[in-house]
Structure 1
């Protein structure tokens, strides 16, 4: 009997990667974008999940436009908090394992040390607050859950920092990139593989999943051009040089404590992952 998995946000950059990987591994996959299942419509979510009776629900649908969330908080909370509640309630009713994809934005970035899964949360903006509200609904309403916080995600699908740098690198010889925000880049394929490993277990809880090592956006950009052999002058600048509607955490470096303590495979270094990605694009 193949396991049945339902994936929300199946048209997003992680969602597409999850659909491909779980199909490849022999799961019976049902991937839904907003057009097929609107997570803010509780009746629709309940009907879909109770009809399909998945063994696993991977909830990657989200309002992810960090700056836009500041000007439309109702929409961000409707999708990220109440949409997640709807998925959690329906998944619990059919006894499915639930994996919710969350974010490094649940932290304020004032720590000097990396954040582990037990570090106190304190989001700065609407996006982080709405994703944290989603985490709380998962904890309150579901009994077999994985909360996966990830960061600086890129991959072959959708728009992301790596693709933006490659595009700008073709158009310009010089770029300024923020050097005072540090975090952990995450390759969607590596993230999807860890998610697969998690849901095949019963080691429920909160996990920080990113590639290992950390860098600033400036260092990330330099590495992208180095590996791609593109001659682009990258200049460091500060967050203050590029004001945005939403505040970003200055430090969102993860410690992978849960991965280590639960004996899951360690995740390769971000430079190695980036190199693999760029050689395959």
Structure 2
């Protein structure tokens, strides 16, 4: 099976490619250096030349705050780029998997969002990712849409690496405590995505590590597992203003995974512990 993976230089794309290679698949990881996702002709030419059996579309404009002012670029990457890839996949009859986000929901309430809940994004980034979902659904009959949240991986920057860096010269940090979700290790997630792409169990899925926490609780566990003596002060969203609104409730139900017989990911604590051990001691994930 030949699988084309966009966003190879990002956290998830990198791990998906390496997971596929470990299983003996023909993996083609691409980034913006290989073709311009916003150029329809370039996308179609590249996909036709590669002729993959499946496309896992991890590439995205993910600068949440910057997106509020850089709307044209964000739209072109997340909506137009997705449309070009999905139509190219349709042309060669390749499976298509679109990676979406918890930001397509409004973040209200405290119960986990289910796969069939009506999206209602509150920020521009979330809006473009939802529009990307709609584009894929309009173009293709057989597709995977996988919504993820709070990812951390070996490749690239993330919240865990930022906290560990700040721990080098801080013994106390203020971290938001009223936004709740599921930290997700891209190593664990990539294994699920490769399992999924081999099936015909199409549809919309939520895929995160198990259990929920706030960013402040996440930070506390990072320092605990890393053996860092840093005090975490839990503050409200109103005390940490950002350009874009963040969803307070990023809990997502994984019932669709269960219904279709996919193995749920480990708890985020288990995954974080393995990840930090790998970062600090190069222990295998």
Question: Which range, TM-score by smaller chain?
Answer: over 0.9
2:184 pairs, out of 183, 186, 200, with: 186
Q: Which runs of 4+ in 1 moved over 2 A?
A: none
The two structures have a TM-score, normalised by structure 1, of: 0.98
1:30 pairs, out of 15, 23, 28, with: 28
In the TM superposition, 1:150-165 aligns within 5 A as 150-165=148-163
Query: What's 1:93 paired with?
Result: 91
Query: What's 1:259 paired with?
Result: 257
Matched pairs, number:
279
Question: Does the 8 A contact of 2:108 with 2:247 survive in 1?
Answer: yes
Deviations 1:66-92 (A, max 9, x none): 000000111111100010000000001
Using the alignment, how far apart are the partners of 2:272 and 2:43 within structure 1?
A: 36
3-state DSSP of counterpart to 1:71:
coil
Using the alignment, how far apart are the partners of 2:45 and 2:271 within structure 1?
A: 39
Query: What's 1:57 paired with?
Result: 55
Question: Does the 8 A contact of 1:92 with 1:143 survive in 2?
Answer: no
Using the alignment, how far apart are the partners of 1:118 and 1:109 within structure 2?
A: 15
The two structures have a TM-score, normalised by structure 2, of: 0.97
Q: Quick check: 138-147 or 64-73, which moved more?
A: 138-147
User: What runs of 5+ residues in structure 1 fail to find an aligned partner?
Assistant: none
Q: Quick check: 243-252 or 16-25, which moved more?
A: 16-25
Cα distance, 1:171 vs structure 2: 1.3
Query: What's 1:210 paired with?
Result: 208
Using the alignment, how far apart are the partners of 1:241 and 1:181 within structure 2?
A: 12
Cα distance, 1:64 vs structure 2: 0.2
Using the alignment, how far apart are the partners of 1:22 and 1:163 within structure 2?
A: 25
Cα distance, 1:205 vs structure 2: 0.4
3-state DSSP of counterpart to 2:167:
helix
Cα distance, 1:143 vs structure 2: 2.3
Cα distance, 1:198 vs structure 2: 0.7
Deviations 1:156-215 (A, max 9, x none): 110100000000011111000000100010000011011011101100001100000000
Cα distance, 1:257 vs structure 2: 1.1
What do you get for the CA RMSD once the two structures are aligned?
0.7
